[in-house]
Structure 1
Amino acid sequence: MSVKQTGMLILHWVSVAIGVVGVLVVLPFVLPLILLLMGVSRIRARQSEQRYAAFLAQHEGAEFFCYTNRMTSRAFVEEHILSALDPHIHIIQLEGRKPISTFDETYISHMLHNIEQIGFPNVLKIVNGHVVDTSLHDEWYAILNQKRSPDVFLQALEAQLARLRKAKGDRIEL
């Protein structure tokens, strides 16, 4: 082995030793910090879930109508549907992924993130601390594509709301 190769080998092992020593020196400081941050994250997540559960309890029985801001449907909803809805039904408009309503965006986002029936418009109801929902997507686009009366959609909406009102737990009974 040449002197150059020996020098390179020594330099390599010195850098490895410095790296190992560096890790051993830093690890006692970094590991507790990581564990602390994980604990804080868990506490915040638990507090968030508790606040969401309190929101659901506070609004037990509340009904929601959620629609998107798609050009094909927004004008139709705002012109024909919203004025015909029962005043106690809360309106949620989705602008992209952002819910616009009279409620805190965090809770509404959480609620919409957990819906089971994907597709908008959607009706939701809080029952026993759970959100039950049903999509009106198929009915909606059948009416839009066939250029039918808004009354047909309103009848379908009322039928779905009646199903939600019969919900006993976190599932809709058929």
Structure 2
Amino acid sequence: MTENSGKNFFCYNNRKNSKKYIEDEIIPNLTDGIEIVYLNGKKVESEYNAEFISEALYKLKNYSQFPHLMKIRNGKLIDKSINNPFYNVLNVNKPKNELLTKINRFFELTEIKNVA
């Protein structure tokens, strides 16, 4: 875990009504330094070490549903579900910027991409 300290992960799955929106509207607006983890059923798709990601997902403490955020700080895995805020954007038309700000705050990233 220590060798991955400082890493940030945005995790989502193949749920039909959200996958396209995440890939079209959220991922392009994430700041650099956030690794994307896609769960295609039980198969982990990521440019990152799949074994590490699988183990990390298995150990999630605050898992409710996807999308989910994970970060590694001081050798510890910290995670947070953003399922509720995400679906407020998707279904209730809340501003996308609010969700992106929550993601950046969780990862302690100050830079926010300019979203039209």
Note the C-alpha offset of 1:130. Answer: 1.8
User: Which stretch of structure 1 is more off in the superposition, 101-110 or 142-151?
Assistant: 142-151
Partner of 2:26: 81
Unaligned residue ranges in structure 2 (runs of 5+):
110-116
Q: Does 1:57 align with 2:2?
A: yes
**Higher relative contact order (Cα pairs below 8 Å, separated by 6+ residues):** 2
TM-score (norm 2): 0.83
CA distance in 2, matches of 1:115, 1:130: 11
Structure 2 equivalent of residue 141 of structure 1? 87
Looking at structure 2, the residues matched to 161 and 104 of structure 1 have their Cα atoms a distance apart, in angstroms, of 20
Given the two structures, how large is their TM-score scaled by the length of structure 1? 0.57
Query: How far 1:161 moved relative to its partner?
Result: 2.5
Alignment gaps of 5+ in structure 1: 1-55, 164-174
Match of 1:71 in 2: 16
* Residue number in structure 2 paired with 1:161: 107
Deviation string, structure 1 residues 63-107 (Cα, Å, up to 9, x no partner): 111111111111111111111111111110111122110122211
Which residue of 2 is the match for residue 123 of structure 1? 69
Q: Provide the C-alpha distance between the structure 2 equivalents of 1:127 and 1:151, rounded to a whole number of angstroms.
A: 25
Structure 1 or 2: larger helix share?
1
Deviations 1:104-133 (A, max 9, x none): 221110000001111211111112222111
The whole-number CA distance in structure 2 between the counterparts of 1:71 and 1:95 is: 11
Q: Please provide the CA RMSD for this pair.
A: 1.6
- Partners of 2:35 and 2:48 within 8 A in 1: no
Determine what percentage of the aligned residue pairs are the same residue.
30
Deviation at 1:151, TM superposition (A): 2.1
1:24-39 equivalence runs, <5 A: none
Higher strand share: 2
**Higher alpha-carbon Rg:** 1
Q: Deviations over 1:25-71 (max 9, x none)?
A: xxxxxxxxxxxxxxxxxxxxxxxxxxxxxxx2221111111111111
